[in-house]
Amino acid sequence: MMYKKMLIGLIIGALLTVGIAACTITSGSTSTMPAVHMGNTDFVQHAVTIQKGQKLNLIDDATSTHIITNGSWVNGSAKPGKEPGAPTVNQTYIGNDSAPIGPFNTAGTYQLYCTVHQNMNLTVTVQ
């Protein structure tokens, strides 16, 4: 009887420890990372401002594939190109997934685009 109570206490203690650890990890990684969502054929917003040193989480809410890399669409033509200080971005999203890009360690304005969807541009301003 006594042994059983101790065992239950240990299990509850272990669960609490895991719970607290999980909360700490979650608040540490998501509260500081800005995010931009992607729909079927475009970014939900076309510009975002972040702080130097931050990563940017790109979230694909649709079932579309997006391939995000450095550059932009200009008048319907894809123009690959990486500004000085830009992190190299080459990230594929398969739909209903997300992945961070960066970190952006240098202040400036950077262009990103999706190689799959015409005119799918994102401007990242780092300050």
Closer to Cu ion by Cβ: residue 48 or 116:
116
Which residue, judged by CB position, is nearest to Cu ion in the bound state?
114
Give Cα 29 distance to the centre of its chain: 11
Work out the angle at residue 56's Cα, subtended by the Cα atoms of residues 91 and 99, and round it to the nearest 5 degrees: 40
Nearest C-alpha neighbor of 43 from the set 14, 27, 64: 64
Size of the site for Cu ion (CB under 5 A): 5
| Residue of 58, 89, 120, 122 that binds Cu ion (CB under 5 A) | 120
Buried b (16+ CB within 10 A) or exposed e, 96-120: eeeebbbebeeeeebbbbbbebeeb
Q: Is 124 in the site for Cu ion (CB under 5 A)?
A: no
Q: Is 89 in the site for Cu ion (CB under 5 A)?
A: no
Q: Is 55 in the site for Cu ion (CB under 5 A)?
A: no
d(CA 51, CA 43): 20
- The least distance separating Cu ion from the CB of residue 120, rounded to whole angstroms, comes to 5
| Residue of 66, 104, 111, 126 that binds Cu ion (CB under 5 A) | 66
Name the site residues for Cu ion (rule: CB under 5 A): 66, 114, 116-117, 120
